[in-house]
Amino acid sequence: MTESGEGVLTRAMRVLQCFSEAEPQLSATQLAERTGLAASTLHRLMAQLVEFGLLARAPGHRYTIGARLWELGELSPLSLRLRETALPHMLRLYEATGENVHLAVLDAPTPESATALYVGRVTGKGSIPTLSRMGGRHPLHATGVGKALLATRDDAWLSRFFSVPLRRETMLSITSEAALRADLVRTRTRGYAITREEMTLGNVSVAAALPPAEALPPAAIGIVVHLESADERRLGGLVVQAAKDLSRDLRDSR
């Protein structure tokens, strides 16, 4: 423990969390500014992170996330069990539609901070562009997989979730608690969630939640298509069947 009472692991996480999709490379100066760590402390810490492969040096005196950190992350059940089991089902959905297929889990330290964490993605040259990426996060209320996950939560959980204002991602995003609760009722009734231009204009997402799986967080599988080609009933049937088949394979893989 350091004099400030902050452990080495906490300081290391402060450094690693500075990196993002928008800024995958950072200089030592940028890291010092964002962490508030003294230059000498940061230098020693970064040398250790590089030694262990958690950071890597990049051209121009910059740093990136290291290969060892990626390697360790691939040992997570989200990769080894969920994503690997889901890939054949995701590929079948892609073959049936030619569009983006997403696999996401509920990442919820608290309901107030919950997001959809994307752990799998299948796409192709003809697929409509989306904002998602593996390892990325998007809001629950504006995405198909996120809304499918919300529909699995109980009233107590949802009450805490709605205590934080919902961000309007597009002009069509549902940000009213009453309207979103009504939408979740419809989602539960038909068995799949739909978002229409709520995360990206021109896109429709259809997704279904998986039944609970032992030792895994709540998960959902979904498809994102262009508004003009969205046959929601057909897509709903496809994602519901994929969720059932994937759930069966996850039970068999225990």
Question: What CATH number does the domain containing 50 carry?
Answer: 1.10.10.10
Mean pLDDT value across residues 180-186:
97
- Look at residue 69 and tell me whether its pLDDT is greater than 50: yes
CA atoms lying within 13 Å on the CB side of residue 71: 7
pTM here is 0.88
Which of 38, 71, 104 terminates a domain? The answer is 71
Question: Which residue is listed with tokens 């969205």?
Answer: 230
Query: pLDDT tens, 123-171?
Result: 877 665 666 677 789 999 999 999 999 999 999 999 999 999 999 999 9
Query: Is 41 in the same domain as 141?
Result: no
Query: Is 128 in the same domain as 43?
Result: no
Tell me the pairing of strands 26-27 and 62-65. antiparallel
Contact criterion met (CB below 8 Å) for 81 and 91: no
Burial of 95 (0-12, 13-18, 19+ CB in 10 A): exposed
Query: pLDDT tens, 74-128?
Result: 999 999 999 999 999 999 999 998 889 999 999 999 999 999 999 999 987 766 5
Query: Is 167 in the same domain as 245?
Result: yes
Question: What CATH number does the domain containing 182 carry?
Answer: 3.30.450.40
Query: Is 64 in the same domain as 126?
Result: no
What is the Cα–Cα distance from 158 to 20, expressed in whole angstroms? Answer: 29
Percent of the chain with pLDDT over 90: 80
For 138-164, b/e burial (b = at least 16 CB within 10 A) is bbbbbbbbbbbbbbbbeeeebeebbee
The answer to whether position 119 is within a domain reads: yes
For 52-90, b/e burial (b = at least 16 CB within 10 A) is eebbbeeeeebbebbeebeeeeeeeebeebbbebbeebb
Average pLDDT, the chain: 92
Count of structural domains, the chain: 2
Query: Is 51 in the same domain as 87?
Result: no
The three-class DSSP label of residue 225 is strand
The answer to whether position 38 is within a domain reads: yes
Q: Residue 247's domain spans which residues?
A: 76-252
Query: Is 222 in the same domain as 248?
Result: yes
What is the Cα–Cα distance from 81 to 253, expressed in whole angstroms? Answer: 8
The answer to whether position 1 is within a domain reads: no
What is the Cα–Cα distance from 174 to 123, expressed in whole angstroms? Answer: 26
Residue 3 confidence (pLDDT):
43
